[in-house]
Amino acid sequence: MPLADIILVTLAAFGAGILNTIAGGGTFLTFPALVFTGVPPVIANATSAVAVFPGYLGGAFGFRKEIARFSRRELVSHILITLAGGLVGSLLLLVSSNEAFSLIVPFLLLGATLVFLFGKEISNWAARHSRSGSGLQTVSLFFACVYGGYFNGGLGIVLLAIFALWGMIDLHQMNGLKNGLSFVLSAISVVIFAVGGLVLWYQAVIMMIAAIIGGYVGAPIARALPRTVIRAIVALIGFTMSAVFFWQNIV
């Protein structure tokens, strides 16, 4: 791997660690960086998922008290649904051709960017139309995790929105559940991608280390930067990457 490519993916992963700590959206950096270094889109997506995987565990650990407020039955149910949805989404990626995935990626990036940008509005709308019931929880969580297993970008905002739809109002508890389930989903995805031979481990390990360092650095940055600035940065990256991938499909 050329030195320039190593520097690019390392910087992208470092930036992703910062973004994920601050607000999310790290996939908007890691996935395009791998593609731009010549990695096929499907493998780039799988390797990117592995690269950001460790960060979710740290996030879940940080909210362990909030997670402990869920009953054991609730947690087991959510975990099983997450595993099922993540398995389906990961298997879909496994059988996707690079051509088919390349056609879908711009729409996924654009959709994830819009969800991130209007995440608060979506969550507020979901809260106003909140519905209880295990059926709603099962269906909404399953399909969110299918998406997450197939393409991880924007998953955190999607999960927060459906938690609001369930009627949850404690943001810390919602964030704890989001991080915990994201870790579970990523775990099954990593296993599937590794068994399927989709992961470039050299790049993945380098990016894991850089993402962990970026996550640590991101904490003081998160405290210093206004929320509007953070949202603008992530939105700019997301829209730019969407436009680039749309253009690549056209030409």
Q: What is residue 219's predicted lDDT score, i.e. its pLDDT?
A: 63
Q: Which two tokens stand for residue 173?
A: 């508890």
Separation of alpha carbons 118 and 140, rounded Å: 19
The structure tokens 């879908």 sit at 104
Q: What is residue 107's predicted lDDT score, i.e. its pLDDT?
A: 87
3 state DSSP class of 71: coil
Q: What does the DSSP assignment read for 147-213?
A: HHHH--TTHHHHHHHHHHHTT---HHHHHHHHHHHHHHHHHHHHHHHHHTT---HHHHHHHHHHHHH
Q: What is residue 151's predicted lDDT score, i.e. its pLDDT?
A: 86
Separation of alpha carbons 184 and 159, rounded Å: 13
What residues make up the domain containing 69?
3-250
Output DSSP code: residue 19.
H
Separation of alpha carbons 186 and 50, rounded Å: 8
Q: What is residue 84's predicted lDDT score, i.e. its pLDDT?
A: 96
* Cβ-contact 138, 165 below 8 angstroms: no
pTM over 0.75: yes
Total domain count, the chain: 1
Alpha helices in the chain (DSSP H): 3-22, 27-36, 41-62, 64-67, 72-95, 98-117, 119-128, 134-150, 155-165, 171-195, 201-224, 227-250
Minimal CA–CA distance to 240: which of 42, 11, 28, 38?
28
pLDDT in tens, the chain (251 residues): 889 999 999 999 988 887 776 666 788 889 989 999 999 999 999 999 888 887 777 767 777 888 888 889 989 999 999 999 999 999 999 988 888 888 888 888 888 778 777 766 776 776 676 665 667 788 989 999 999 899 877 777 788 778 877 878 777 788 788 888 988 998 999 999 999 999 999 999 999 999 888 877 766 766 677 767 777 777 787 788 788 878 877 76
Q: Which residues contact 122 (CB under 8 A, 6 or more apart)?
A: 115, 157, 161
Q: What is residue 40's predicted lDDT score, i.e. its pLDDT?
A: 92
**Long-range contacts formed by 240-244: CB under 8 A, 24+ apart:** 241/28, 241/31, 241/32, 241/109, 242/106, 242/109, 242/110, 242/113, 244/32
Output DSSP code: residue 2.
-
Separation of alpha carbons 102 and 41, rounded Å: 6
Q: Which two tokens stand for residue 47?
A: 């390797």
* Cβ-contact 218, 17 below 8 angstroms: yes
Q: Which residues contact 191 (CB under 8 A, 6 or more apart)?
A: none
